[in-house]
Amino acid sequence: VARPPPADAAPRPPIVAVMGHVDHGKTTLLDTLRNTSVAAGEAGGITQAVGAFEVRMPGSAATITFLDTPGHAAFTAMRARGAAGADVAVLVVDARDGVKPQTREAIKHAAAAGAPIVVAITKCDLPDADPARVRGQLLAEGVELEAAGGAVQCVEVSARSGAGLADLEDALLLQAATMNLAASPTAPAAGVVVEARVDRGVGPVATVVVSEGTLAPGAPIVVGCEWGRVRSLTAPGGGGAVSSAGPGTPVEVAGLRGVPSAGDALTVAP
């Protein structure tokens, strides 16, 4: 599908993948930011699917789109696809447990996706927390932290108390500012599939993060090997219908003939 060069690129919200080892506090961190309770509804408190959420940050009122990626080893491939659709990867590491096997996998996935890392050391409010040990382990894994002369920002946070969340917000917005993220809102829409499913009564539904253009109902789309016409757009996580989705916005798309794969590219066709 031929795509004309964008003529009116404008700043867009950053897309951030939250990655790390199982039970290191990724979803709870997001819950605190968006004042919801996703973790409590998951099996064992462990995220079972990649989810996309748009968060208006409490400090700056800037918008950031987060991809919440599973931490369990069984979902390594899903986590890799989550990072592939992101500008920045937040590497969540428990201040007590330190670097674990899936932490190392997350570092590799972010590197393969070309996404810069911002480290969030979680649970720093607990008495046995040891952030200094975690920083030493990350340096040993090749993560070049700012404290050691590198470029990777590292923030100590506590989702339970809210400590450090403002610093994490500043770190993400600073990283995004250095990347000059921009997209044309008027170009033919394009995006990436984060997850897809068959919804009873609706049919195939794909959660898509729009990377360029504005996606609207009625648009003919090609998604990987599937195709169709956008029948409806809804906000992820049980949100209501939306009339359109611009660059950096996550949205659930109905109207495809079949279920695409996570990581598939969405393109509006003539």
Annotated active-site residue in 21, 26, 109, 123: 26
Annotated active-site residue in 23, 97, 130, 167: 23
> For residues 89 and 72, what is the distance between their CA atoms, to the nearest angstrom?
17
Told to judge if 27 belongs to the known catalytic residues of this protein, a careful annotator would answer: yes
Separation of CA 92 from chain center: 13
**Which region holds residue 248: left if phi is over 0, alpha if psi is between -120 and 50, else beta?**
left
Told to judge if 109 belongs to the known catalytic residues of this protein, a careful annotator would answer: no
Q: Coil, strand, or helix at residue 104?
A: helix
Told to judge if 130 belongs to the known catalytic residues of this protein, a careful annotator would answer: no
The amino acid present at 196, given as its one-letter code, is: A
> For residues 251 and 233, what is the distance between their CA atoms, to the nearest angstrom?
6
For 76, half-sphere exposure in the C-beta direction (CA atoms, 13 angstrom radius) is: 10
Annotated active-site residue in 24, 27, 65, 68: 27
Annotated active-site residue in 63, 72, 130, 186: 72
Q: Coil, strand, or helix at residue 239?
A: coil
Length, in residues, of the chain: 270
Q: Coil, strand, or helix at residue 246?
A: coil
Q: How far is CA 9 from CA 3, 59, 181, 234, 256, in A?
A: 14, 26, 9, 25, 28
CA angle 125, 130, 131 (to 5 degrees): 85
Told to judge if 26 belongs to the known catalytic residues of this protein, a careful annotator would answer: yes
Structure tokens at 46: 């462990």
- Which residues have a catalytic role annotated? 23, 26-27, 72
